[in-house]
Chain A
């Protein structure tokens, strides 16, 4: 296929924390490539290094050694300012605890990344409203986060990640604070949206069932990828 070029390439990635005298190898030589439009899960127990991997992919943490190339750019060579700029243009982020701004309503929250980009108010509001309609919150546009349920809040979170039309979306335990029914709904939403827009989604979770929504599942243990599972019968775009 034409669009199977890797959008993320990770080579020989190490992250070593120093705790007193001992060295903790959070990532111990990780290598993989993710194609455009893929939905990948990273599954592992707590302490396996999956969150560290995600943080490094998103440029929130620097690797000790190794290469991360996203959309043709080396993440490990960027300074913090450049990383912020890069995230602004290419990356959406979905948090476990939603992390919405309490003082802003749904539209303003969704439009926040556009505000950071310097888009004018009218334009960004229009865009944010369209995305809110898409995630099924059309009638909650002026609600503050405190007036919404957890599921609704996470939909706003998803909308916020999608609004800049990023190439890659990172999700860190996106359903960790939701009950199982709402979790499924949010997962289905993410799956649908990513398929429609041909965006790459990388999700970290410890739940094997939720991981099953993905096209590929990376199993990680003790800082190493021990298994990559291809979900057969799924369309990879």
Chain B
């Protein structure tokens, strides 16, 4: 028999028994929908966690730091391996590493009128700053290597405090009236001298000259309110090249705060970095690259382990939820088998006649398999639509509770797989009835006549 004829005949015999077909299909609809909804909940949870990880520094970035020497024993015995330009070059040579930037971080005091704040400045390469993709409310990313300009995180403003009244965002919720772009903001790099000069009235009365203040050029401001926390929210970013030059000019051969010193307390010629930021081309290689760096004697940190454990955890959740859903599909499969068996008893004569007038045994089997497959297919498609509707409903409810991303998520593969699976279940359920139909004796038709 031709495939088209087989399809048509099996569809026709389902159509002939509409009510029974609909009831059987309904079972598959419920089964498919419960699996899809359950799995979509697991996937949704997974997705929102992944998004959280993404916000916390991405999935492909690695932070390299100095190994904790005090962990290994006496720090004086062993100089820790420092982060320098040589290491930056080494990392750049790795084919899986797309981008490497040293991070020079330094704490400074910022003053703007009566407001005061301690800022954490992070100097990075212009390329890396762009790669971070910080969304900007205004201004631009400080890529220029000639001029020192600052990009403020969206929560930096909240750290400013009125030095006279002590009022600030964290104490009474008032947002300081500072416009980073228009107001003059002064930075004090030598914090030790500053605190010494502040404290002199209470101390022994010896006056210490307050350190010099420098005007900070504005580059940009990150998007977001005081409440939206992102990995960059608290920092002030600038290009590392002008920052290094600026620091050298300010401290003129003296020890720059945060930089290591020789045994005799003298500064080194070159800068050592607090951190090196490396971006790997694919999540797959993060672990590999990380191990490579660790083996060189540095401490590394990435979100890979977090991602791995999260994936594992949500894998279990999905399996459990999917298993619960699968129970109802099993029940539906039994329903299909039952329907097909009844159909065969009812059509014993018809099957016999078909055999007598020359229908191949395997065609009879195919006809019944197709009928069962059709029940699965229709049930699968309707079940998918139904679960899409439920998913929409769930997401609307949780959106009302503040989950923007939604709890239920049906990706294309889940949609496709669920329909295929429903067809598969249908055909499996119809397999033994189909064999039975194939083996029916044609004589039964004549005898019953």
B-binding segment of A9-17, A110-118, A226-234: A110-118
Cβ-defined contact, B358 with A84, below 8 A: yes
CB-CB contacts of B1-32 with A at 8 A, as 1s and 0s?
A: 11011000000110010000000000000000
Q: What is the 8 Å Cβ interface bit string for chain B, positions 341-373, against chain A (1 contact, 0 not)?
A: 000000001100111111111010000000000
Query: In the bound complex, what is the Cα–Cα distance between A93 and B355 (angstroms)?
Result: 11
Assess the B358–A87 pair: CB atoms within 8 A: yes
Return the chain B residue nearest A58 by Cβ.
B356
How many A-B Cβ pairs are below 8 Å? 71
B449, A117: Cβ atoms under 8 Å?
no
Which of A42-50, A94-102, A186-194 lies at the interface?
A94-102
Contact code string B416-449 (vs A, CB < 8 Å = 1, else 0): 0000000000000000000000000111011001
A236 interface residue, CB < 8 Å from B? no
Known: A95-B449, A99-B353, A120-B2. A88 touches B443 (CB 8 A): no
- The answer to whether B449 and A60 touch across the interface, beta carbons within 8 angstroms, is no
Q: Which parts of B235-282 form the interface with A (CB within 8 Å)? A: none
A76 within 8 A of B: no
Question: Please, which residues of chain A bring their CB within 8 A of the CB of B361?
Answer: 80-81, 84
Q: A113 — which chain B residues lie within 8 A by C-beta? A: 357-358
A residues in contact with B5, CB < 8 Å: 115, 121
Shortest distance from the beta carbon of A176 to any chain B beta carbon, whole Å: 9
**Residue A61, interface by CB 8 Å:** yes
Pick the residue among B16, B350, B357, B441 that contacts A93 (CB under 8 A): B357
Measured between alpha carbons, how far is A141 from B157 in the docked complex, in Å?
87
A216 within 8 A of B: no
Query: Size band of the A side of the interface?
Result: 20 to 34
State which of A81, A95, A101, A120 has its C-beta within 8 Å of the C-beta of B360: A81
Which residues of chain A are within 8 angstroms of B358 by Cβ–Cβ distance? 84-85, 87-89, 91, 113, 116-117, 164
C-alpha spacing A161/B353, complex, angstroms: 12
Q: What's the least CB distance linking B87 to chain A, in Å?
A: 73
Q: A115 near B12 (CB under 8 angstroms)?
A: no
Chain B interface extent, by class:
20 to 34
Cβ of B443: which chain A residues have Cβ within 8 Å of it? 55, 60-61
**Considering the chains assembled together, what is the distance between the CA atoms of A51 and B445 in angstroms?**
13
Q: For residue A170, which residue of chain B has the nearest CB? A: B356
Complex Cα distance A87/B357, Å?
7
Contact with B along A52-65 (1 / 0, CB 8 A): 00010010110000
- Given A81-B360, A112-B357, the answer on whether A99 and B449 have CB atoms closer than 8 Å is yes
A172 within 8 A of B: yes
| Bound-complex Cα distance A87 to B445 (A) | 16
- Minimum Cβ distance to chain A for residue B206 (Å): 109
A155 within 8 A of B: no
> Are the CB atoms of B360 and A172 closer together than 8 Å?
no
A103 within 8 A of B: yes
Question: Knowing A60-B443, A103-B16 touch, does A116 contact B357 (C-beta < 8 A)?
Answer: yes
In residues 129-169 of chain A, which contact B (Cβ within 8 Å)?
Answer: 160-161, 164
**Best-surrounded residue of A61, A91, A99, A101 (most CB of chain B within 10 A):** A99
Cβ of A80: which chain B residues have Cβ within 8 Å of it?
361
| B357 nearest in chain A by CB position | A113
Asked whether B353 lies within 8 Å of A95 as measured between CB atoms, the reply is yes
Given contacts A60-B443, A88-B360, could you give 7 more A-B pairs where the C-beta distance is less than 8 Å? A51-B446, A60-B441, A60-B446, A92-B357, A95-B446, A99-B353, A117-B358
Provide a sorted-by-A list of 18 A–B residue pairs whose CB atoms are within 8 angstroms.
Answer: A55-B443, A58-B356, A60-B356, A60-B442, A84-B360, A84-B361, A87-B357, A88-B358, A89-B358, A95-B356, A101-B350, A112-B354, A115-B5, A116-B357, A116-B363, A118-B1, A121-B5, A172-B449
